[in-house]
A and B are shown apart, each in its own frame.
Chain A
Amino acid sequence: MDVELLSRIQFAVTVGFHFLFPPISIGLALMLTVVEYQGWKKNDEEYVRLGKFFSKILAITFAVGVASGLVMVLQFGTNWARYSAFVGDVFGAPLAAEAVFAFFLESTFLGLYLFGRNKVSKGVHWFSILMVFVGSLISAFFIIVANSWQQTPAGFGIQNLTTGALLSQDEISKMIQLGKGFDPATHRAVLTDFFAALFNASTLPRFFHTVLAAFITGAFALTGVSAYLVLKNKSVEVAKKGVKLGVIFGFIFSILQLFPVGHEHAKQVAHTQPEKFAATQGLYTSETGAPIMIFAYPVSSPPPELKAKIEIPGMLSWLAFGDFNAKIRGLNEFPPENIPPLWMTFVSYHNMVALGMFFIFVTLLGVIQLKRKKLYDSKKLLKIFMWSIPLPVIACQFGWVAAEVGRQPWIVYGLLRTKDSFTNTVSLTEVWISFILFAIVYIVMTFAYLWLIFKEIKHGPEPAEIINEGKEVTV
């Protein structure tokens, strides 16, 4: 184990843990915006109770998300100092924008939403959850800008640190073709076009893909938890509304995720990061009329191959380039030192897609049963919804692994290699200490979080009279 590998593992664990929570809070914030709106406009007590119940889950999730997010941001400085020095000029602006436009908005209005129910009018209270949702969307946007810039850098120049001069476009292209990446000790990226960097090739496809994934997560949480309440016969009328909203929104979001959003994102990757695309699709040799893999088991040992294949011929070429006979570059066309780890990329990508298909299938069943007015009596389906709560979160993790492992060996695609960007002035012992410390924290926090969430769910929505009680209840 060396500092580089351990720093990578530590970062992966940190982000992996952090990324469990934002999809839930973004999704739930959206669902709560809808629920609270119904409660306010229709003056419907049951929606108010539903909103209040889920607001507790949002609060706990948000707290852990914020706490773990801080660890993530500071890790750029502690463990990826050379990376920070290299990208700071470009990366800093979106991060600053995220703090200014998003973090303040979410955190400040979450306080009002959670504690202000009896202090402000219903309209203002609804506005507060709307702002939490908007803030979380803006936050997602800017962090995805930063991450997308790592995938498809744009709007930048490269500065020679000794002379202070900017490299010409030709020199940059030459360096990129050489495929070695820049040395952060001698060069850094500087922002030359803010909007080109902001809306780089992958920003929008990845933004829509990620927030839709979060919406699906929120819809499934709403459906699943409400389904549990229906099954346990607790506040059934309240819970039915949750199931209904969750199923309908879940279905819409799942469909949109497949088409156009997921499809567009895949197309973009095929055009902008061919190595990553080939790795996710298991395309080890270039092919015209490349097939899409429905199922396969990848074996990495050279030469890599797929076993037990189920495929649709020509489909991949058509999906990616709109032509059944289009040629897609396989991994054999790229130098071995530029190829991402194959097994992880392929497997996580395909599991994500499989889960996405499952979401469409199960919510479709839900919508059909709803239409037939049999949803609340379909015990089995409700149980499936209950057990499906964690699946979108897992799909998010798979998607993230595919996106980030698929980017390797680059930390900034084509410009900076991961091996040149970790902090090399920190000792292995120090990284072990921080890693073990936070591994323990994450394990403990996962259990504490789940325990608390289960406790809240088992408790169920408060009876109507408690919510209506006046301001000054001393407990």
Chain B
Amino acid sequence: METLSVIWFLLVVVLLAVYVVLDGFDFGVGILSLFRKDDNEKRIYMNSIGPIWDGNEVWLIAGGGSIFAAFPLVYATAFSGFYLAIYLLLLALFMRAVSFEFRSKSESPVYRKIWDFSFGIGSLLPALLLGVAFGNIMRGLPLNENKVFTGSFFELLNPYSVLIGLLSLIAFTMHGAIYLTHKTDGELKDTNEKIATKLWMVVVVLYLAATVATLFVSPFLFIGLTKNIIFWVLFVALLASIAMIPVSLKAKNNKNAFIFSSVMLASMFGISAVSLFPRLIPSVTNLDYSLTIMNTSSSTGTLTAMLIIALVGMPFVAVYTIWIYRIFKGKTVLTKESY
């Protein structure tokens, strides 16, 4: 029971970390497309993620689904607690998902503007909201002794969580800009290199601010952290990747820059997860009321069955996802099939 719960905590973190890395640049590209005026440029942005965004979003479903399956009480508590925020997120993801198919199906400028806006805002809102939601988890939710959420929608918009939301928003945008330096040429590539370098500085400042704020808001997250070897591995990875992003960008090595920004996002997320462990949702009312991997996990049978499913299925997913990424590698060129 113990070991299986720990394994599933780890798997959920891995699934969500992959999601953050993959949909992170999707969101970034969408956000950056808001700042392009030219129709063809907007299309290049959208098509740079055209064949792959849908597969990327599945990682969210896989992550969410495994929380439902492995820690049902977390799913029930968090999702009903974040009620309106979840619906806002869903609305954004919904409009974004359909904007791909709809956007270029008419020449009308107004029509295209509507769907460009859906695509852009549909990327910006999730990038922000996912951060705000995660900030609330880091901060802890008001949970009573029955593990029931007792807060309200507006309490979710507290300064700390908004700070984390800004961090995720800017970090995803930087990640997207770096992805675009890889997928575009000429002026667009130069612009995105500049944007990425500038946003990198903002990310560093926000991350420092967030760390300090966490010390004050959720000091319990730091207890025992420095004794954890995984923390140190992630911490070194984080520092190294943060340092290497501007170096790679300067050296025009876009591929490396993208790898480093991916590592940065994954290790940021990983460090937060390590500090939360074994809690999944701390309770601010009383830490003892927290949802942990012990008091929320599914039965041994379910966890075992799911582990087998994951071990059998995920290697295939990894193989064909990488294979298809390779097919679509290279600069984005608009063709008859493009969105």
Asked whether B317 lies within 8 Å of A95 as measured between CB atoms, the reply is no
Contact code string B45-57 (vs A, CB < 8 Å = 1, else 0): 0000011101101
Among B181-189, B206-214, B231-239, B296-304, the stretch that binds chain A is B296-304
Asked whether B301 lies within 8 Å of A108 as measured between CB atoms, the reply is no
- B266 within 8 Å of A (CB atoms): no
Given the known interface contacts A425-B149, A452-B101, the answer about A111 and B51 at a Cβ–Cβ threshold of 8 Å is yes
Given the known interface contacts A63-B101, A92-B69, A426-B80, the answer about A74 and B301 at a Cβ–Cβ threshold of 8 Å is no
Q: Which residues of B are found within 8 Å of A437, using beta-carbon distances?
A: 87, 91
Could you tell me which A residues sit within 8 Å of B by CB distance? 59-60, 63-64, 66-68, 70-71, 73-74, 76-79, 81-82, 84-85, 87-93, 95-101, 103-105, 107-112, 114-120, 159, 185, 188, 190-192, 194, 423, 425-426, 430, 433-434, 437-438, 441, 445, 448, 452, 455-456, 466, 469, 471-475
Given the known interface contacts A95-B69, A466-B336, the answer about A194 and B301 at a Cβ–Cβ threshold of 8 Å is yes
Asked whether A93 lies within 8 Å of B302 as measured between CB atoms, the reply is yes
Asked whether B69 lies within 8 Å of A115 as measured between CB atoms, the reply is no
In the assembled complex, the CB of B1 is this many whole angstroms from the nearest CB of chain A, namely 11
Q: Which residues of B are found within 8 Å of A89, using beta-carbon distances?
A: 69, 72, 298-299, 302
The 30 sampled A-B contact pairs (Cβ below 8 Å) are A60-B102, A68-B94, A70-B97, A76-B68, A78-B79, A78-B87, A84-B68, A84-B76, A85-B73, A88-B69, A92-B69, A92-B70, A92-B298, A93-B302, A96-B68, A107-B54, A111-B55, A112-B51, A112-B327, A115-B51, A115-B328, A118-B335, A194-B301, A423-B80, A433-B84, A434-B83, A452-B101, A455-B106, A474-B335, A475-B338
Q: Which residues of A are found within 8 Å of B7, using beta-carbon distances?
A: none
Asked whether A475 lies within 8 Å of B54 as measured between CB atoms, the reply is no
Distance, CA A454 to CA B120, complexed state (A)? 26
Asked whether B313 lies within 8 Å of A190 as measured between CB atoms, the reply is no
Interface size (B, Cβ < 8 Å)? 67
Asked whether A85 lies within 8 Å of B76 as measured between CB atoms, the reply is yes
- B306 within 8 Å of A (CB atoms): yes
Asked whether A60 lies within 8 Å of B101 as measured between CB atoms, the reply is yes
Q: Which residues of B are found within 8 Å of A67, using beta-carbon distances?
A: 93-94, 97-98
Nearest residue, chain A, Cβ from B335 = A473
From B78, B146, B337, give the contact of A114 (CB < 8 A). Answer: B337
Q: Which residues of A are found within 8 Å of B298, using beta-carbon distances?
A: 88-89, 92, 190-191
Asked whether A96 lies within 8 Å of B69 as measured between CB atoms, the reply is yes
Nearest residue, chain A, Cβ from B93 = A70
Asked whether B336 lies within 8 Å of A110 as measured between CB atoms, the reply is no
Distance, CA A108 to CA B55, complexed state (A)? 5
Which B residues from 304 to 329 make CB contacts under 8 A with A? 305-306, 309-310, 313-314, 317, 320-321, 324, 327-328
Asked whether A112 lies within 8 Å of B310 as measured between CB atoms, the reply is no
Nearest residue, chain B, Cβ from A61 = B101
Asked whether A104 lies within 8 Å of B299 as measured between CB atoms, the reply is no
Asked whether A93 lies within 8 Å of B55 as measured between CB atoms, the reply is no
Nearest residue, chain B, Cβ from A83 = B76
Q: Which residues of B are found within 8 Å of A466, using beta-carbon distances?
A: 336
Given the known interface contacts A78-B79, A88-B69, the answer about A474 and B51 at a Cβ–Cβ threshold of 8 Å is no
Asked whether A88 lies within 8 Å of B334 as measured between CB atoms, the reply is no
Distance, CA A95 to CA B106, complexed state (A)? 37
- What 8 new A-B contacts, CB under 8 Å, besides A76-B79, A115-B51, A456-B105? A68-B94, A70-B97, A74-B86, A84-B68, A108-B58, A188-B72, A425-B149, A430-B153
Asked whether B57 lies within 8 Å of A107 as measured between CB atoms, the reply is yes
Distance, CA A45 to CA B75, complexed state (A)? 50
Asked whether A90 lies within 8 Å of B302 as measured between CB atoms, the reply is yes
Among B59-67, B197-205, B276-284, the stretch that binds chain A is B59-67
Residue among A74, A99, A116, A434 with the highest chain B CB neighbour number at 10 A = A99
- B243 within 8 Å of A (CB atoms): no
Which B residues from 149 to 170 make CB contacts under 8 A with A? 149, 153
Q: Which residues of B are found within 8 Å of A101, using beta-carbon distances?
A: 309, 313
Residue among B105, B310, B328, B335 with the highest chain A CB neighbour number at 10 A = B335
Distance, CA A474 to CA B102, complexed state (A)? 20
Distance, CA A466 to CA B335, complexed state (A)? 11
Asked whether A88 lies within 8 Å of B90 as measured between CB atoms, the reply is no
Q: Which residues of B are found within 8 Å of A471, using beta-carbon distances?
A: 333, 335
Q: Which residues of A are found within 8 Å of B93, using beta-carbon distances?
A: 67, 70
Nearest residue, chain A, Cβ from B314 = A100
Given the known interface contacts A63-B98, A471-B335, the answer about A104 and B87 at a Cβ–Cβ threshold of 8 Å is no
Q: Which residues of B are found within 8 Å of A93, using beta-carbon distances?
A: 69, 302, 305-306, 309
Nearest residue, chain B, Cβ from A14 = B90
From A63, A73, A433, give the contact of B97 (CB < 8 A). Answer: A63
Q: Which residues of A are found within 8 Å of B70, using beta-carbon distances?
A: 92
Distance, CA A188 to CA B72, complexed state (A)? 11
- B100 within 8 Å of A (CB atoms): yes
Distance, CA A4 to CA B54, complexed state (A)? 33
Asked whether B50 lies within 8 Å of A108 as measured between CB atoms, the reply is no
Asked whether A452 lies within 8 Å of B105 as measured between CB atoms, the reply is yes
Q: 6 shortest A-B CB distances, which residue pairs?
A: A88-B72, A92-B69, A77-B79, A111-B51, A100-B313, A81-B76
In the assembled complex, the CB of A64 is this many whole angstroms from the nearest CB of chain B, namely 6
Asked whether A99 lies within 8 Å of B61 as measured between CB atoms, the reply is yes
Given the known interface contacts A114-B51, A475-B338, the answer about A98 and B65 at a Cβ–Cβ threshold of 8 Å is yes
- B195 within 8 Å of A (CB atoms): no
Given the known interface contacts A76-B68, A111-B324, the answer about A472 and B50 at a Cβ–Cβ threshold of 8 Å is no
From A108, A118, A425, give the contact of B320 (CB < 8 A). Answer: A108
Q: Which residues of B are found within 8 Å of A85, using beta-carbon distances?
A: 72-73, 76
Q: Which residues of B are found within 8 Å of A74, using beta-carbon distances?
A: 64, 79, 86, 90
Asked whether B58 lies within 8 Å of A99 as measured between CB atoms, the reply is yes
Given the known interface contacts A64-B98, A67-B98, the answer about A434 and B87 at a Cβ–Cβ threshold of 8 Å is yes
Distance, CA A101 to CA B308, complexed state (A)? 12
Asked whether A192 lies within 8 Å of B301 as measured between CB atoms, the reply is yes
Asked whether B90 lies within 8 Å of A77 as measured between CB atoms, the reply is no
In the assembled complex, the CB of A123 is this many whole angstroms from the nearest CB of chain B, namely 14
From B52, B90, B101, give the contact of A59 (CB < 8 A). Answer: B101
Distance, CA A89 to CA B305, complexed state (A)? 11
Nearest residue, chain B, Cβ from A87 = B72
Asked whether B102 lies within 8 Å of A88 as measured between CB atoms, the reply is no
Q: Which residues of A are found within 8 Å of B69, using beta-carbon distances?
A: 88-89, 91-93, 95-96
In the assembled complex, the CB of A456 is this many whole angstroms from the nearest CB of chain B, namely 8
In the assembled complex, the CB of B209 is this many whole angstroms from the nearest CB of chain A, namely 31
Q: Which residues of B are found within 8 Å of A114, using beta-carbon distances?
A: 51, 337
In the assembled complex, the CB of B285 is this many whole angstroms from the nearest CB of chain A, namely 14
Nearest residue, chain B, Cβ from A195 = B305
Q: Which residues of B are found within 8 Å of A76, using beta-carbon distances?
A: 68, 75, 79
Q: Which residues of B are found within 8 Å of A104, using beta-carbon distances?
A: 55, 58, 62, 313, 317, 320-321
